[in-house]
């Protein structure tokens, strides 16, 4: 097996040999170049995991800024809800008024129709 083909799989194999095909593992066991690369991947992962314990402190005043942002976002949300509510109420009012006008018109027409029938009768 060629080193180049095995090298493509080393970033995955470093998570555990069970992820590799037997022939790939056999190659690594017999190839110093691939072993050396695997060692480098292990060192890389160790170094990355070590960074987990390296924690930075944000600048002073960050908490206040975050809370102000949240308050601002909350106000925007409340304003949006208010406007949405008003818009809904406005549209609802128009719909009710339109329906009422339609119903009234229908009643007028119906009454006229009845009167004409009576006069004709």
Interface with other proteins (CB under 8 A): 11-12, 14, 32-33, 35-37, 39-42, 44-45, 47-49, 51-52, 54-59, 62-63, 65-67, 69-70, 73-74, 77
Q: Least distance (Å) from other proteins to the CB of residue 85? A: 19
Judged by CB, which is closer to other proteins: 25, or 41? 41
CA 21 to CA 39: how far, in whole Å? Answer: 19
Residue 109: half-sphere exposure toward Cβ, Cα within 13 Å: 6
Q: How far apart are CA 115 and CA 121, in angstroms?
A: 10
Q: How far is the CB of 103 from other proteins (least distance, A)?
A: 42
> 15 in helix, strand or coil?
coil
Q: How far is the CB of 104 from other proteins (least distance, A)?
A: 45
* Contact criterion met (CB below 8 Å) for 8 and 14: no
> Under 8 Å CB-to-CB from 17, ≥6 apart: which residues?
25
- Please, which residue, 66 or 95, has the CB nearer to other proteins? 66
Pick 55 or 120: Cβ nearer other proteins: 55
CB of 47 to other proteins, least distance (A): 5
């Amino acid at each position: 097996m060629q080193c180049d083909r095995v090298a493509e799989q080393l970033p995955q194999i470093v998570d555990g040999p069970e992820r590799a095909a037997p022939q790939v593992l056999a190659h690594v066991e017999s190839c110093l170049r691939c072993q050396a690369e695997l060692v480098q991947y292990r060192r890389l992962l160790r170094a990355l995991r070590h960074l987990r314990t390296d924690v930075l402190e944000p600048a002073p005043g960050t908490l206040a800024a975050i809370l102000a942002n949240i308050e601002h976002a909350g106000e925007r949300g409340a304003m949006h809800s208010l406007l949405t509510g008003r818009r809904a109420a406005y549209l609802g009012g128009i719909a009710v008024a339109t329906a009422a006008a339609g119903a009234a018109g229908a009643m007028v027409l119906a009454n006229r129709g009845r009167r004409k029938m009576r006069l004709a009768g």
